[in-house]
């Protein structure tokens, strides 16, 4: 199986990755594999379909949400 070597990782980033791995009860290598797998698995088309399905469900339920821009504008006028 091929390997990857990444040089010059900033210490702050390295420490955050180590903490994330520790918090998830994984080795750093296991955590990095998961992060990389999730990064390349992201599919914008699936995200768009999911958003459309959520919108459709909300429309069917006749859910109404106020416009946050209007609320902010009203609040600033006070």
**Per-residue confidence (pLDDT) for residue 20, from 0 to 100:** 97
pLDDT at 65: 76
Summarised one tens digit per residue, pLDDT across range 11-56 is 999 999 999 999 999 999 999 999 999 888 878 888 899 999 998 9
Distant-in-sequence, close-in-space partners of 28: CB < 8 Å, separation ≥ 6: 17, 18, 21
Top pLDDT among 78 and 51 is at 51
Which of residues 78 and 11 earns the better pLDDT score? 11
Position 78 scores a pLDDT of 82
DSSP secondary-structure letter at 44? H
Q: Is the pLDDT of residue 66 over 80?
A: no
Element (DSSP H or E) covering residue 59: helix 44-60
CB atoms within 10 A of CB 17: 15
Alpha-carbon distance of 39 to 27, in angstroms, equals 18
| Per-domain boundaries in the chain | 11-77
């Amino acid at each position: 199986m091929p390997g990857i070597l990444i040089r010059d990782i900033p210490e702050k980033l390295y420490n955050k990755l180590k903490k994330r791995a520790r918090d998830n009860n994984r080795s750093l290598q296991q955590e990095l594999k998961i992060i990389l797998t999730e990064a390349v698995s992201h599919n914008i088309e699936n995200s768009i379909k999911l958003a459309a399905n959520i919108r459709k469900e909300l429309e069917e339920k006749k859910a109404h949400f106020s416009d946050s821009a209007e609320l902010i504008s009203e609040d600033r006028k006070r």
